[in-house]
Structure 1
Amino acid sequence: MSGPRAIDTVFIANRGEIALRVVRACREMGLRSVVGYSVPDADTAAVRAADTAVRIGPADGRRSYLYPPALIEAALGAGAQAVHPGYGFLSEVPEFAEICAENGLVFVGPAPGVMAELGDKVGARRMMAGIGVPVLPGTDGPVAGDRAVLAEAERIGLPLIVKAAAGGGGRGMQVVTDRDSLLSGYRAARVSAREYFGDDRVYLERYLEQVRHVEVQILADGHGNVLHLGARDCSLQRRHQKLVEETPGPALPAEVLGKLAEYAVRGAQTAGYTGAGTFEFLVVGTEVAFIETNCRIQVEHPVTEMATGVDLVREQLRIAAGEPITFQQADVEPRGAAVECRVNAEDPDRGFVPSAGRLDEFVPPGGPFVRVDTHAYPGWTVTPHYDSLLAKVITWGADRDQALDRMDRALGEFRISGAGVRTTIPLLRGLLQDPRFRAGECTTSYLDGRDGAGLVAG
């Protein structure tokens, strides 16, 4: 890429399917890819596919994927000019982006200051409210101390949710439905936030039980172009972890979609955002409320790619090199419907406990308009050290029913077996047959209190 910041080699500071996804984008663009890997990841598909692979440390993420000195040393040693952080790990850590810049490396993402402003959920709420975007009732900043928590809860009202001020991915959250559990929920959220993000600041926000979770994909470059690529519905969740994502959102009025797009673009413009990101909202009827921004590529980005034909990772890399987006808003014409299901190595019958082991059989589905993003293969060992995501299955259809039927067929074809390895495929197929889900009526609380066994397809 020959923009203001010439890039010919990209270091990928991540693992799994997203690392492989970036490797493939680099290859199509004629860029050299370098993957950093931990000891148990030495034989992963991303390592095999990359032009170069560099060992960065042991299994413990704090000494490998979460350890900037090892990542910077590997990137510089391999001759990289840019670092792609993927999602998770250090992808939303402003200090890592700053360290990259200090070492002459381009961080593929927004500027550190922008990431700090939007990555702090309280600050992002404050900014969006200041430009006229609705937000839920909540605290104006992090809240600390039992007395302050009790006073703010009285003002906001129950039920409420205690949320980590930093991070994302549904981590560091506790729903509080009564005053007796308020302080225990507050303390649990702080512990979780510290564990996941190294930052125990939390804030309070009104909790809505019958609500949909909808996010808007945006792209913004350094030339003043800010575009949206439609909305994704991520309402089908379990414990704030997304299971199924789709675009367009089922039964979302055009009025709501218009509001969401307008608010997301306005927020990105105000913050001076560059790169790919999402602005996330809660939707009740025709009312919407901003909740947070994800300053990175999302796990569910393939849904948008399938519907729009836009390669989001390619655009990320071009924007990072200082080049403009290759199309205009009028060129974005989503077609049909796309759905993504996350296949995890978890046992739905045993409380979704992660399962590890060697994969004796791993045969992904295929056929028209079926995409599978995965790093797994027969003979690979599912490790207990990292997240349990095995694959993402994405299908496209001329309409939602066709996309869902195609997904059910694809999941039915997926063959995964190995000693001790269980997956969420039966659960996902059960959800695809669920009448309320097929009718587009699910909210974020739909699976609350329902165990996996009761949802598995027969």
Structure 2
Amino acid sequence: MMSEEVKKPWKDGLHSEKRGIRSGKSEDNMKQINKLLVANRGEIAVRIFRTLNRMGIATVAVYSEADRDSLHVQHADERYLLQGNSLSDTYLNIEQIIAIARECEADAIHPGYGFLSENPLFARAVEETGMIFAGPTAEAIALMGNKKEARVLAVSLGIPVIEGAVGSAEELAEKAGEMGYPVMIKAAAGGGGKGMRIAWSEKEFRELLESTQREAKNYFGNSEVYIEKYLADPRHIEIQLLADHDGNIVTLYERECSMQRRHQKIIEEAPAPNVSASLRNNLCEAAIKLAGKIGYRNAGTIEFLVKEDQFYFLEMNTRIQVEHPVSEMITGIDIVREQIMIAMGKPLSFTQNDIKISGHAIEARIYAEDPANGFLPSPGKVHFHKPPSGKGVRVETALSENGEISAMFDPMVSKLIVHGTTRETARKKLVKSLRHYVLLGIRTNIPFLIDLAGTSEFVEGKSNTNLVEHLQQNRKNVQPHIPDKELLAMAFLFAKPVKKETGNSTWQNIGYWRLLPDAHLLINREPLTHHYFYHNPHHLSVQKNNIHKDYRLVERTDDSLRIDVSGNIHTLYYHARNGEVFFHHEGVTAVVSHARYLGRETLRAINENPVLEGDSIVRAPMHGTVVKISVKEGESVAKGDTLLVLESMKMENKITATVMAYVKQIEVNQGDIIENDAPMIILTDKIVH
């Protein structure tokens, strides 16, 4: 355990060793909320508005120019444009948001998650105006938002923490050596998976320390970091709390959040599988002890790392969590509603004994990213979006049928939440729903999530925070989904418009029906020649390896095809654009076009690798900001060396050399904002003088 002097920067509040405590009511804090502004964007704003509408509270949205078409703007009663282009000018601009709240005469502000939600200056500014902050006090946010101070509090209460250290860069380097590598470098004001790096050796410690400090300053306005001894393959389990003004505290029990990539959760569930009653009780009691000590109120989450039955305090999130829906679905409690009721000064209307666990819920986060390429962000235009639906299926998103996934924000597109009577029922429902989740135009992690939910480790509830990385490294059970190229080729030929189109349409570009023995196509930019037999516009067949297959078009709409393949019905969704047709089938997406209609960008993508031998241009794999250039002109680089660091969608991405080469020319400067495919560095196989 870390040797830390126990200070008391907090005020003693109520606490109890019992799981769930109640005290007498007080009418002193009662206030009414008639109109509320949500100082956030995207799916969480939409989700908050839904509850506010049920409560009869008028809703106010704020939005940046990039979010003009977002659902959260459309769903609000009133909407106000945030002036400015950067996050600091818009969603992080306390002064502007407070001014809008005053202008529209809002009674309260809900911060959502991320952005200003854990900024004590924002909470205090709201309270000083006389408005209600739908969250904890500024003092609680300040204390628990500083991970170092939160550790001190945990230590004072006898709650285990992982061995760690604080200090200057030199002191941290020295203490890391004393503790032994690997160590985790963490932002003191961090959260949400940001501001975290694992240093495996002394050699890389300095570079990672600087990178973590830079990211911490960028996201949290505080470059302060500390280190902890790295705990191998732990589980990440958290406790959901609700606390009112009278000191009543209850838990909605635990959530399992161990399935992570890049320290960010991708699958969460409740209750956590394979948790003993004693471990659940110990976690809940520790969480209530922490919250009670500081007199916490509103919704909060205490996170722990768990190794076998030993647990360690990790951090407290003083806000609503991304994954809160799984707790709602197993308890039937609307956490946002409780936040609003508590903010109005009303006591909790239920006790711990009233809260029962019913069934099992699992949430999958849908990200615009490429799992096959290190989970690089994949912002861009969504041509068609059709989430799944059904009993026990819930989708939280701010994306309508189409829209733009901006590089300015986190790459999460939506959350898919399912509920079943048992964990296995919920897991199967998750897989089925993922297979029917249609997102055309961008790369997503949907196929990866489908595979992940089918691994033996996940099926058996044996996940840990490093499982995703281990599975990828070993390629065990998690393989890229390969589209059925024959089905796609036939679907492409069936996808003829119902009505004759005029003008220069996609269908004129790709060609109408022709009695050709071969279809020369590109599927995901790979050439394919397919021999088929034409019977009529609704019936094609293929003869291959002495096997005959009939393809019959059963139904065609503007965005879907139902095709009978020798008695088996397949449903595909599609969108035609610029000579290409985007398809979705069973969780897999693909782009199909006639080989003779290739655009310049497609040709370049087929024929050009990111880094080649000889003079070669290293191009940006995404829109982003150059935050660091790691090489100089004339230097030699080895395969795997970092050339520069590009920040996109709130994540830093190392751009590395794929061959040994020399840096001929650097085309960008630190701080430059560059577009996807922009030239960044020119490499050569010749010595540069």
How far apart are the structure 1 equivalents of 2:472 and 2:133?
Answer: 41
Q: 1:423 deviation in Å?
A: 1.1
Structure 2 counterpart SS, 1:242: strand
Larger Rg: 2
- Find out whether 1:33 has 2:45 as its counterpart: no
In the alignment, which of 386, 395, 399 is matched to residue 418 of structure 2? 395
SS in 2 for 1:288: strand
How much does 1:81 deviate? 1.1
Residue in structure 2 matched with residue 428 of structure 1 by the alignment = 449
SS at match of 1:75: helix
Match of 2:209 in 1: 186
Alignment of 1:375-386 (within 5 A): 375-386=398-409
Q: Which residue of 1 aligns with 2:225?
A: 202
Matched residue SS, 2:191: coil
Q: How far apart in 1 are the matches of 2:470 and 2:453?
A: 19
Q: Distance in 1 between matches of 2:254 and 2:37?
A: 30
Residues 322-351 of structure 1, C-alpha deviation per residue, up to 9 Å, x if partnerless? 111121110110111100000011122222
Question: SS at 2:205's partner residue?
Answer: helix
C-alpha distance in structure 2 between counterparts of 1:190 and 1:41, whole Å: 29
Task: Please give the per-residue CA displacement for 1:2-32, whole angstroms capped at 9, x wherever unaligned.
Answer: 9622211100000000000111111000100
Give me the whole-angstrom Cα distance separating, in 2, the residues matched to 1:344 and 1:154: 37
User: Going by fraction, where is helix more abundant, 1 or 2?
Assistant: 1
Describe the SS at the equivalent of 2:469: coil
Aligned counterpart for 2:331 among listed residues 308, 313, 320: 308
Partner of 1:145: 169
Task: Tell me the CA shift for residue 43 of structure 1.
Answer: 1.7
Letter in 2 for 1:424: N
CA distance in 1, matches of 2:302, 2:402: 39
Q: For the Cα contact (< 8 Å) 2:177–2:202, is it kept in 1?
A: no
Aligned: 1:282 with 2:305: yes
Name 2:182's counterpart in structure 1.
159
1:446 aligns to 2:472 (yes or no):
no
Higher strand share: 2
Corresponding residue for residue 71 of structure 2: 45
Please state whether the residue corresponding to 2:233 is helix, strand or coil.
coil
Aligned mate of 2:48, from 10, 19, 22: 22
In structure 2, do the counterparts of structure 1 residues 358 and 187 end up closer, same or farther at CA, with 3 Å as the change threshold?
closer
Q: How does 1:154-303 map to 2 (within 5 A)?
A: 154-303=177-326
Runs (5+) with no aligned partner, structure 1: none
What is the match of residue 65 of structure 1?
A: 91
TM-score, with structure 2 as normaliser: 0.64
Aligned to 2:435: 412
Deviations 1:133-152 (A, max 9, x none): 1111112xx42131x11332
Partner of 2:371: 348
- TM-score, scaled to structure 1: 0.96
Contact preservation (8 Å) 1:336, 1:400: yes
Cα distance in 2 for residues equivalent to 1:307 and 1:22: 19
Shift of 1:271: 1.4
- Tell me whether 1:322 sits opposite 2:348 in the alignment: no
Q: How far has the Cα of 1:261 moved from its partner?
A: 0.5
- Identity rate of aligned residues, in percent? 39
Alignment of 1:101-112 (within 5 A): 101-112=127-138
Q: Could you tell me whether the CA contact under 8 Å between 2:247 and 2:297 is conserved in 1? A: no
Separation in 2, partners of 1:187, 1:356: 27
Residue deviations 1:362-406, cap 9 Å, x none?
111111111111111113222222111111000111111110000
Code of the aligned partner of 1:130: S
Distance 1:379 1:193 in 2: 33
The residue type paired with residue 73 of structure 2 is V
**Alpha-carbon distance between aligned partners in 2 of 1:217 and 1:456, rounded to the nearest angstrom:** 35
> In structure 1, how many angstroms separate the alpha carbons of the residues matched to 2:236 and 2:421?
23
- Give SS of 1:167's match: strand
Q: Which runs of 5+ in 2 are unaligned?
A: 1-27, 483-689
Whole-angstrom CA distance in 2 between matches of 1:378 and 1:154: 53
Flag the 1:204–1:357 CA change in 2: closer, same or farther, 3 A.
Answer: closer
Amino acid at match of 2:450: R
**Residue type at the aligned position of 1:21:** R
CA distance in 2, matches of 1:197, 1:64: 15
Distance 1:38 1:377 in 2: 17
How far is 1:250 from its partner?
1.3
Higher relative contact order (CA 8 A, sep 6+): 1
SS at match of 2:140: helix
2:390 to 347, 367, 370: 367
Letter of the 1:438 partner, please give it.
V
8 A Cα contact 2:453 2:459, kept in partner = yes
- Kindly report the root-mean-square deviation, in angstroms, between the aligned alpha carbons of the 2 structures: 1.6
